[in-house]
Structure 1
Amino acid sequence: MTESPHRLVPGDAAPDFTLTSDSGEQVSLAALRGRKVIVYFYPAAMTPGCTKQACDFSDSLDSLRASGYEVLGVSKDEPARLAKFRERDALTLTLLSDGDLAVHKAYGAHGTKKLYGKEVEGVIRSTFVIDEDGAVQLAQYNVKATGHVAKLRRDLGLD
């Protein structure tokens, strides 16, 4: 087992990245400077919890955008699988592929975690809110798939 990953805290510079989206485009965090960005990491497309979370973000996307937030979902899935996920569940947010997990690790969203009482190596379901200047405003680790978007909206004062 590797040691627990370094965790980001509010005020840290958000690690920059450029990843391939479900539509094959390159999406860069730097290109979104000047906007608030919610980046969330999830274990796998088309699994029950990840589907629930993605649908919740998708359902809230218009109101999040109206409040100035862009939303990016990141997983290790290949772009083609992400495209199927988007199509199957009519998702409207941008899904990004981090196949080598480099971005997950930079954000502390991959490492040792507890799963059914055992320590395993894997994706740590995490959400980050990045401000207009590229700094971490909010870092949440080990979030629950269900109810997370509603909690995040409350944490951001949007409800």
Structure 2
Amino acid sequence: MSKKLFALCSIMATVLLSSCSSTNSELPKKETANAEESTVQESGINAEGRVIYDDEILKASYLGISDSFGYTTLVIELENKTDSEITVLPMNSSVDDTMVTFTSGMPATIQGGKRMKQGWLIGSQPQSNVEFSLSICDEHMHEIKKTDVLRIDMNE
């Protein structure tokens, strides 16, 4: 009798656990999606972007400032308008007229004809402006162009 009861309890536990696990696996996905949407809305990131630079090689659009996990990040969309790979690096960077070193761990390397969203850590939440120039390098890391200083006013 106890073996039959044990087998029955085991089967019921297995059924209950399998139904709970499938229900729970769906919930975090919905919660995560909502959390991502709210983070984007709260951080002011705009999917359209504001074009801050555009020439025959590169188009750069400002998407916003993200403040996630204690890191303030300038989010830029970069579009390689050539057929060759390019690498884009921020130079001469300042936040609210104080020089800073933008960091992100990696330069933005973009294949020909493609786009990428790049986040550069900027240290602190800008109050009035962010300024930087972009160094555009070819696949051999030779600089092919350097932009003038690009200014993003936070009050616009």
Q: Is the shorter-chain TM-score for this pair beyond 0.5, marking a shared fold?
A: no
Structure of greater Rg: 2
Alignment TM-score, normalising by the size of structure 2: 0.25
TM-score (norm 1): 0.25
Q: Relative contact order (alpha carbons < 8 A, sep ≥ 6): 1 or 2 greater?
A: 1
Q: Normalized per residue, which structure has more strand?
A: 2
